[in-house]
């Protein structure tokens, strides 16, 4: 009788609890690695957006100056259609055209 039970068990296929736990642990480790890797990408994209925004405002200021022989602020650049929207990170000086970071800006751009 016992031999028949053992023979029936040998033909069954499946994973043991230990094998399943090992696979779940490996997947957890891989997920943790991916989460930390993606976090670094977000920081790089934020600094790239800041640099790009500052360059856009500077270019718009120079284009406005070339056309009007004077500088303006960011709302003036938007009104003159040199920028599509106001910058949330930088402001421009109407006196000398310098571009500076807005204090307390959401992106912490400098």
- Decide if pLDDT at 2 tops 80: no
Coil, strand, or helix at residue 94?
A: coil
Secondary structure letter of residue 71 according to DSSP: -
> Does the pTM exceed 0.75?
no
Question: What pLDDT was estimated at residue 23?
Answer: 96
Q: Where are the beta strands (DSSP E) in the chain?
A: 90-92, 99-101
- Residue 66: the pLDDT is 92
pLDDT digits (tens, 9 = 90+) for 60-86: 999 999 999 999 888 989 999 989 888
- Tell me, what DSSP letter sits at residue 102? P
Q: Which of 5-9, 29-33, 69-73, 98-102 has the lowest mean pLDDT?
A: 5-9
User: What pLDDT is attached to residue 21?
Assistant: 95
Q: Can you give the pLDDT at residue 108? A: 67
Contact 90, 107 (CB under 8 A): no
């Amino acid at each position: 009788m016992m031999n028949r039970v053992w023979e029936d068990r040998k033909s069954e296929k499946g994973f043991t609890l230990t094998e399943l736990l090992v696979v779940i642990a490996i997947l957890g480790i891989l997920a943790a690695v991916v989460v930390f890797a993606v976090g670094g990408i977000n920081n790089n994209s934020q600094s790239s957006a800041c640099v790009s925004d500052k360059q856009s405002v500077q270019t718009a200021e120079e284009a406005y100056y070339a056309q009007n022989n004077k500088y303006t602020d960011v709302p003036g650049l938007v009104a003159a259609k040199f920028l599509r929207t106001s910058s949330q990170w930088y402001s421009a000086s109407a006196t000398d055209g310098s571009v500076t970071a807005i204090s307390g800006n959401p992106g912490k751009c400098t």
